[in-house]
Structure formats: C-alpha cells, structure tokens
Chain A
Amino acid sequence: MSTPLAPQHGELPHAEPTELSAPFWNRCAEGALTFQRCAACQSINFPPVEVCRDCLGTDLGWEAGSGRGTLYSWTIVHRPVTPAFTSPYAPAIVDLDEGYQMVTNLIGIAPEEIAAGIPVEVDFHEVSPGLHLPYFRPRSS
C-alpha cells in the first residue's frame, strides 16, 4: 500500500482574500469551516457572494458548519500544476452535510483506498505562514 496523502508545505498560489471572502479565511485560521446563509430564504451560499444565488436577498450571514461530509469526486494529480505543489495530491469535491459542495484536497488516505461516498471531515493545515487551508480526511468514527 502506498503512503497516505499529506498536506502541502510552503508557498502556494492563492489570491488575496477580498472583503467578501475574508470572513471565511479568518475563521479557517481559527479552525472553523464557514458558509453564508441567506436570512430571507435560508439557502446556503458558497463560495461567498454579495447577493443570494437563490432569492437574490442581500442579508447574508456567516455560519460555522459541522465540517463533515462525504466524498463526491476526486482525482490523483501526478503532474503538479506548478513546482510549488508536491505530487501526488488529490483534488476533490466534497458534499458537506449542510447541503453544499466545495473543492478541497483529500489527505490522510492512500490513493488506492479512496472511494466515492466515503465519510470525510475537515482538517485544517497552515501550509505557509498565515495560509490555513481546509483539507479533508476520512472521518475517524
């Protein structure tokens, strides 16, 4: 069996947070995975947006979620996008229990053990000073 996938280390390409996205990244640094909920229609919006994607309401508040979900789809990258990344790594889409999807990387599992639908949970890692990324790993329980 191959080595479990690990988080990246070092400077990665990333955009500076905007006024809209800063609350998400600030809470990542505190270990909370957050999303916006519309006060008018209760829909979840992620990635963050100024106007609710469902009802176009403008009163959007931040909530912390469970950080738990299941694996929707994944790939194992062997040819890294830039030399900043160490391969292999596993871009993935996770179905969060709250009912939305996000892009992440899977860690803590060997590539050949990954399967659609496995339960996963968020696992934050500071890959470079100040950049806290919400990785996902298989759920322990």
Chain B
Amino acid sequence: MSPRRAVIAGVFNTPQARRLEGWTTRKLAATAALGALNDAGLTLADVDGVITEGDSAGLVYDLRLGPAWRGWGFGLEAVTEAANAIEGGQADVVLITAGAAGVYLDRDATAPWTRPENEFVAPWGLFTAAEFALVARRHMTMYGTTPEQLATVAATIRNNGHQNPEAVYSGRGPFKPEDVLASRMVADPFHLLDCSMTSEGGCAMVLVSADRMADIDSRPVHVLGGCTDYFGPAYQFPPSWDLAGRRGGPVNGEIGKRAADRAFRHAGLERSDVDVLELYDPFSFEIIRQLEAFGFCGPGEGGPFVEDGHIAIDGSHPVTTDGGTMSFSHAGGTPQMLQRVIRGVQQLRGEAGPLQVPGAEVALCSGAGAGALFNSVILLGTEAS
C-alpha cells in the first residue's frame, strides 16, 4: 500500500480591510469556507474534518458536518495537523477556516491579542511590538544589525503589498527605507512602518487526500513537510535570544531552525530548492532572524543579506509576496498565519498576478517568531517530490 499524501485543493481570502463593518468572525469563517470549497470544486458534503481556532467542534455542529474529525491547531500548525490527519487515514477532506472581525475596537490600546495578562509581564507595559523589539535589540547588539536593514525589509514587503490589488494597503507605496525610518517610533527599534497593521478578514483552505485529486478542479499543491518549534507560551516569560532548553541549542533566537531542518529532511529538499519564501512578518526584524534560523544565510548575516536585495520580488529569495501582515492583512490569530500558506499556494499555482515569481515550484511558509517563543515552517511543492 502506498502512503496517503495530503494536497491543498482549495484556498480563499474574503475581503480584507482595517474594519469590515457588518461582518462577524463567524460570518467571515463561513464565507471563507464556502469560497475555499468552491475553489476546490467540492461541497460541504465532501468535508469530514474541520479546524477553526478555538471552536472546531462548534463548527462541526453549525455546518452539520458530523460525524467528522476535528483538529486543534493554531496558525500553520492547523495545516500540518490536517495533513497528518489525512495521511494517517483519519479524514479525507479537511476544511480549515478562520476569520476575525469586531475583535479590536478600543483603538486607545494596542490590539487585545498583543497584550499579555501575565502578572510578571503586564505591569511592564509589554505588548507584541516590545516583545519582538527585545529580540531585535539583542541581535543588533551581537551582530551590528542596523535600523536601515530593518527598514529595507519593511519597504520590500510594503512594496509587494503596494502592487497587490487584494491588499488592504494596495497602492499605498512605493516605499523607500527612508520612509520607514521617518515614520513615528512605536517600540525602538521598530518604527510604525516596521510593524504589522491590524485589520479584519477571513480565509480558508481545503486539504484532501492525494487519491482524491481526480475529484478536484484546482491545481493541487503538495504539503511536503512541516514542523513547529516551541520554547514556551507566548508573552509570559522574558523573550530572550539566549533562552535555552536542557538540550542546549538551538536557542530561542534561532527558533525555527530545528523545525526547518526537519521539514527539509522530510521533504527531501535543500534550501536551494526554495523559489519563494512566504515568511510571517509581524515586525521587520523577524524576517532577518528567520532567514538565519531557516538556514538561508549564516548567523548574523541576515542584515547584510536583506540589504543586498536578495529578498526583493525579483531577487534570489523573494519574501512575503502578498505584502504580508504589514500591507496585505493582519486579521487576528489564525488568519494572519494561514494567509502565508495561502499565498504560497497562489505562487505555486501561478496565480500571484503582478507579484508572480516566475516558475515557482517550491514555497517555504512560516508563522510567528522568537518574540512569541514559537515558530512554524511548511514546505509546499507543485510536485509530490
């Protein structure tokens, strides 16, 4: 018996906006679900597995999908969990859907998901930007990484969003690194334009067993490998570069290295096989860190690497080609990360419009980073490798 393999058969993004009046989280998730099934040429009656953040069982009931498998995964972990469920024979068609609207209304404060309630963190005024800044500052201290290098990352990603008609900030560029450096400071070294936005929107994805490929309308994309590294829960402990477990290294500053090594090994791929990197971009520095952690450049080399143009849309390592959370959308917990995988699928199908990386066959997608003490990696391919 040949092993079952999982493919991504359908993807969908709802409209994204800073604020989507009249929408709710559940309406976005339902709209996205139907969109992704339609993209795959499947219907709700085909679905026998569901993942949605925090309420998979509720969605099984509300979509009348029972009896069905349900998953728990958050962000990119939902994709690897769905693929594993299919490959392990627990489900044939898994729907992952996510949305966020009406969650962030008090604009005097930072978004609620960025603010820890932990008693050893909250009174110090930490929020996501400060947590990731503490990691970035350490890298600057160790390696001499500069604000200009961080700004180059932000300008590159924002210029991708500028050209993406689906992006919340479509047409808002072009940006030069100087524009990023001239924006107001949020949490040093991060200026406003070094940071992700906040927005609302939904998205969904359908994974099926490769033996169902004849039933689907879209060009399937193979999930070739995926893994997540954790150092602990997000935003409760010092986000230290040097945080180490009892096995020594890699340390938290290199989080994602173990996950990437495992994903590449499982996929039978090398770093040089990757055509496009749909990296999660909560803050500009995180791209520099992930390029090092994932092995695309050496420790401390991320700053010069981005300065030399490698990550531009026409460079050797194009990153975050939809504009990411800085310019495309940043709708709460799971959507912001699932959308990195959706963009990877669009690139491998040749559906990325003016931002298409010519002939892209392998995409690396990522979620979260050292400021949050976890980092996920997924490798997608046009072929089963």
Interface of A toward B, CB cutoff 8 Å: 8, 12-18, 21, 47, 54, 72-83, 85, 89, 91-93, 101-105, 111, 116, 127, 131, 133
| Known A75-B133, A111-B188; contact A14-B125, beta-carbon cutoff 8 A | no
Tell me how many residue pairs across A and B have CB atoms closer than 8 Å. Answer: 112
Which of A18, A54, A80, A101 interacts with B238 by CB under 8 Å? A101
B126 and A15 within 8 A (CB)? no
6 of the cross-chain contacts (CB-CB < 8 Å) are: A47-B237, A73-B138, A73-B241, A75-B188, A83-B109, A101-B238
Closest beta carbon of chain A to B200's beta carbon, Å? 21
Which of A75, A78, A127 interacts with B134 by CB under 8 Å? A75
B188 and A76 within 8 A (CB)? yes
Closest 5 CB pairs of A and B: A75-B133, A15-B119, A76-B188, A82-B109, A116-B141
- CB of B43 closer than 8 Å to a CB of A: no
| Known A14-B123, A82-B110; contact A91-B130, beta-carbon cutoff 8 A | yes
Known pairs A76-B187, A81-B125, A91-B126; list 14 more (Cβ under 8 Å): A8-B125, A13-B122, A15-B117, A47-B120, A54-B246, A75-B134, A75-B188, A81-B114, A82-B110, A82-B115, A93-B134, A93-B240, A103-B120, A133-B124
Which of B115, B118, B138, B186 interacts with A78 by CB under 8 Å? B186
- B249-292: CB near A (< 8 Å → 1, else 0) gives 00000000000000000000000000000000000000000000
Q: Which residue of the partner chain B has the closest CB to A13?
A: B122
| Known A14-B119, A91-B130; contact A83-B108, beta-carbon cutoff 8 A | yes
B125 and A89 within 8 A (CB)? yes
List chain B residues, Cβ under 8 A from A74.
Answer: 134, 137
A103 and B108 within 8 A (CB)? no
How many angstroms between the C-alpha atoms of A74 and B134 in the bound complex?
A: 5
A131 and B120 within 8 A (CB)? no
Q: Which residue of the partner chain A has the closest CB to B117?
A: A15
Q: Which residue of the partner chain A has the closest CB to B189?
A: A75
B residues 98-143 near A (Cβ < 8 Å) are 108-110, 114-115, 117-127, 129-130, 133-135, 137-138, 141
Q: Which residue of the partner chain A has the closest CB to B184?
A: A78
Which of B117, B121, B127, B138 interacts with A103 by CB under 8 Å? B121
Give the most central of A47, A74, A103: most B CB within 10 Å.
Answer: A103
| Known A47-B237, A72-B240; contact A77-B187, beta-carbon cutoff 8 A | yes
List chain A residues, Cβ under 8 A from B186.
Answer: 77-79
Say which size band chain B's interface belongs to.
35 or more
| Known A79-B187, A82-B109; contact A17-B130, beta-carbon cutoff 8 A | no
Q: Which residue of the partner chain B has the closest CB to A135?
A: B124
How many angstroms between the C-alpha atoms of A76 and B188 in the bound complex?
A: 5
Q: Which residue of the partner chain A has the closest CB to B190?
A: A75
- CB of B63 closer than 8 Å to a CB of A: no
List chain B residues, Cβ under 8 A from A81.
Answer: 109-110, 114-115, 125-127, 130
How many angstroms between the C-alpha atoms of A72 and B242 in the bound complex?
A: 10
A103 and B126 within 8 A (CB)? yes
Q: Which residue of the partner chain A has the closest CB to B131?
A: A91
Closest beta carbon of chain A to B303's beta carbon, Å? 17
Q: Which residue of the partner chain B has the closest CB to A75?
A: B133
A73 and B134 within 8 A (CB)? yes
- CB of B185 closer than 8 Å to a CB of A: yes
List chain A residues, Cβ under 8 A from B241.
Answer: 73
- B186-208: CB near A (< 8 Å → 1, else 0) gives 11111000000000000000000
Q: Which residue of the partner chain B has the closest CB to A117?
A: B141
List chain A residues, Cβ under 8 A from B129.
Answer: 77, 79
A85 and B141 within 8 A (CB)? no
List chain B residues, Cβ under 8 A from A72.
Answer: 138, 240
List chain A residues, Cβ under 8 A from B184.
Answer: 78-79
Closest beta carbon of chain B to A100's beta carbon, Å? 9
